[in-house]
Structure 1
């Protein structure tokens, strides 16, 4: 049996495994807020310890890398359109000010996209520090399932 229930960090995975007896956990939205969760889970499983999730600069670098991969696969216009949803998750987890997230969402070409990213990079997070661990992000759950175990 695989446990499923919005696991967003190692502590929640550990709690689910121990409290339910499931053989593993399914990770979905949790990876949108913390793309490092898979690496952290492997480290935890192998050694009992794990490193922190990425800081602001790590997340910005990953955002740009993922966007470049998307550009290799499709047109500029389509890549920008497709990346808006993923970019939104990145920017929320990076604690970027809502006004800057909005500017990012309005980008319609590479120049706009680049300008928004440069402004985000220059301003850094609205909460937390640029090089430290960012605060946890609440991930809303659609109506129906419970939010916590």
Structure 2
């Protein structure tokens, strides 16, 4: 969710319903070295009362220092460690979804982060995947290691690194992890497209809650539906195109408030396709919205949409965002699979490298 869950989008989602909204992933080395790009991502909305940050790192010392900075200088109330990113530029350095293969290194990183956060009474959680591929699964060991390290929870994306975002999420793996750990809650991630999916996941797996990623792209009102569903209310938001347009305008407005109008409008462009998915807005309109450079221009274009067009129910339950195909192999450091230790492994983490997982 890199480039998506910035302060503006977190504010927009929070306006819709209850939940914890996590900052896009930042690197521990970038934070410790005060890298300009990293620091520019570490921005919070003035109404963001509970600050949550997802941290990427491969070095226990850097992760600990970064955690201390987040808690002590930024008032962060929750730190989530990302061990699920499948992007090759991350896994080739042993980071993201590749790192849990090195069980001892994973334990060291978690222990250092938990210790650094403890004086501030800040919980540390971790997110991971099933494993590198079906022949190299790591999630059950990761659950045990997270418990022993003192993590507050573990979130499991029911796909392997090799799958990336293709195919269907394996909810049975989430259920297996729930049965495997008994001291910390397990959160399920993968294929939560509607509120009903979240209810089914919790019922089928025994997970304590859900983590939403691509399901909220162009649909920040999903959190309203989730809050209602978990409260036992039968609510499903099916906004008209006019209501979606109003949400688009609010999103662009918040981006401009945080980034300035020129950059905010440029950032908004990537969201147009997701918001309009399934609606009848034609190619010319979509192209024009994809080039919008001011709020005034956006207002003019949104006014041309058919405000009464109903929500395309055919899109309910359909995947959103990137999917792609499974990979033939996971890109890893040379000799990575030779052992599952990782003690003393030195991995180079680029200060400015950022990505979502």
Aligned residue in 1 for 2:312: 134
Aligned residue in 2 for 1:143: 325
Aligned residue in 2 for 1:76: 261
Q: CA deviation at 1:134?
A: 2.7
How many residue pairs get aligned? The number is: 138
Q: 2:204 aligns with which of 9, 16, 19?
A: 19
Q: 1:40 aligns with which of 218, 225, 242?
A: 225
How has the CA–CA distance of structure 1 residues 32 and 94 changed in structure 2, closer, same or farther, with 3 Å as cutoff?
Answer: farther
Aligned residue in 1 for 2:284: 99
How has the CA–CA distance of structure 1 residues 36 and 110 changed in structure 2, closer, same or farther, with 3 Å as cutoff?
Answer: closer
Gaps of 5+ in 2: 1-185, 328-357
Q: CA deviation at 1:46?
A: 1.5
Deviation readout 1:34-67 (Å, 9 max, x if unpaired): 3222111111121242232322221111111111
- Greater Rg over alpha carbons, structure: 2
Q: 1:114 aligns with which of 289, 293, 299?
A: 299
Structure 2 CA distance, aligned partners of 1:93 and 1:69? 25
Q: CA deviation at 1:75?
A: 2.3
Q: Going by fraction, where is helix more abundant, 1 or 2?
A: 1
Is it true that 1:61 corresponds to 2:258 in the alignment? no
Contact 2:218 / 2:271 at 8 angstroms: preserved in 1?
Answer: no
Q: CA deviation at 1:142?
A: 3.8
Q: CA deviation at 1:87?
A: 2.6
Aligned residue for 1:2, secondary structure, equals strand
TM-score by length of 2: 0.35
Structure 1 CA distance, aligned partners of 2:198 and 2:299? 36
Structure 1 CA distance, aligned partners of 2:294 and 2:234? 42
Aligned residue for 2:270, secondary structure, equals helix
TM-score by length of 1: 0.77
Structure 2 CA distance, aligned partners of 1:87 and 1:107? 10
Q: CA deviation at 1:81?
A: 0.8
Structure 2 CA distance, aligned partners of 1:86 and 1:24? 27
Q: CA deviation at 1:95?
A: 4.5
Q: 1:50 aligns with which of 226, 235, 243?
A: 235
Is it true that 1:87 corresponds to 2:265 in the alignment? no
